Amino acid sequence: MNMLNEDVTFYDLKEAVRNKEFIMYYQPQINIKTMKVCSVEALLRWKSKKFGAILPPYFISMLEETEKIKEVGKFVLEEACNELNMLENLKYNNLSMAVNISGKQLEDESFLNFVENVVKDKKVRTDYLSFELTERILISPTKPIVQSFNGIRNLGIKIYIDDYGIKNSSLDYLRQFAFDGIKIDKSFVSGITNSQKEFIIAKNIVDLANELDIDSIAEGVEKEEQVKYLKSIGCKKVQGFFFARPMDSKNLLKFLKNFEERG
Ligand code: C2E
Ligand code: CA
Ligand code: CA
């Protein structure tokens, strides 16, 4: 897992796509008030025959550069929709599914059409589906990006800003686009209990979300104390290793069952 980006070649990626070496993991998101699982985030995993298990930071950017993200992104959305339908059939019908979408996908003019076809084909309840976009994508949006964004929302799919506040300081896009929620990056969550500064930043992000009447999800929650702080500032949802690591579909079902029984 401690492999460097440079070790992976375009050829390796092409082979991985061809050999279907990608699988989806799912990480639960918990409603802080009810302490029940309300959604899961779909996270891509590469089980490489050559390198072993590889995490997204080592290959997502290369998938984007080679345009292979379109093919893999198709797999991601289809798998996430299958999982959402399976959860519904197993009576986990109040769970939503969050899917990460890369800028490359959003600016592709055929993306909207593709999403429309997938959700129609799979008969997915679109109000239980959300897309996570990093703010980088929206700072200087092109026309296709704006069209995809609006089209996605018209389909009833929710849109969240991922990694909020870490790279860009522009708030203009918040005014320009209608979001359903903000994800507070783990870098702000990690210091929330012992740094006044990080507490204030996290509180400001949550206040902003609450005043805009949109959802807030804190990611990278690893300690119980962080949950308490996040609850005290009015954050709506939490996600992180404290509750569960990302896991495959089989383990997700086990987790959901245990979590339910724990009450
Ligand atoms: P992200 O969307 O911000 O996803 C959250 C990352 O934080 C995940 O890393 C997750 O495993 C990790 N994480 C969750 N809880 C904790 C915690 O308590 N502590 C710590 N230290 N980390 C935690 P992962 O799976 O390696 O994904 C990294 C990034 O790769 C994602 O960041 C996302 O931007 C991208 N990515 C993952 N899957 C996809 C995908 O299907 N499509 C696209 N376009 N991007 C993806
Ligand atoms: Ca995400
Ligand atoms: Ca994030």
The lowest-confidence range among 58-67, 115-124, 155-164 is: 58-67
Specify the residue with its C-alpha closest to ligand 1, atom 20.
Answer: 220
Task: Report pLDDT for 24.
Answer: 98
pLDDT (average), residues 169-175 = 79
- In this predicted structure, the answer to whether residue 83 has a pLDDT above a threshold of 90 is yes
> Ligand 1: which atom is nearest the Cα of residue 132?
2
Distance 159 CA to ligand 3 centre (A): 14
Ligand nearest to the CA of 102: 1
pLDDT higher for 135 or 249?
A: 249
Residue of 41, 12, 4 lying closest to 246 (CA atoms)? 41
67: tokens are 């345009």
Distance 122 CA to ligand 3 centre (A): 27
How does pLDDT run across 173-218, given as a tens digit for each residue?
A: 888 899 999 999 999 999 999 999 999 999 999 999 999 999 999 9
pLDDT (average), residues 129-144 = 90
pLDDT higher for 135 or 203?
A: 203
Task: Report pLDDT for 6.
Answer: 61
> Ligand 1: which atom is nearest the Cα of residue 163?
3
Distance 183 CA to ligand 1 centre (A): 12
40: tokens are 């899961």
E-strand ranges in 92-239 read 96-100, 129-134, 158-164, 181-184, 215-218, 237-238
Q: What is the pTM of this model?
A: 0.96
Share of the chain above pLDDT 90, in %: 80
Task: Report pLDDT for 170.
Answer: 72
Task: Report pLDDT for 114.
Answer: 97
Task: Report pLDDT for 138.
Answer: 85
Specify the residue with its C-alpha closest to ligand 1, atom 37.
Answer: 43
Task: Report pLDDT for 1.
Answer: 45
Ligand nearest to the CA of 43: 1
pLDDT (average), residues 17-29 = 95
* Separation between Cα atoms, residue 16 and residue 130, nearest integer Å: 27
Task: Report pLDDT for 2.
Answer: 44
* DSSP 8-state class, residue 52: E
> Ligand 1: which atom is nearest the Cα of residue 241?
18
Buried b (16+ CB within 10 A) or exposed e, 40-55: bbbbbbbebeebeebb
> Ligand 1: which atom is nearest the Cα of residue 219?
15
* Separation between Cα atoms, residue 95 and residue 42, nearest integer Å: 13
Distance 118 CA to ligand 1 centre (A): 23
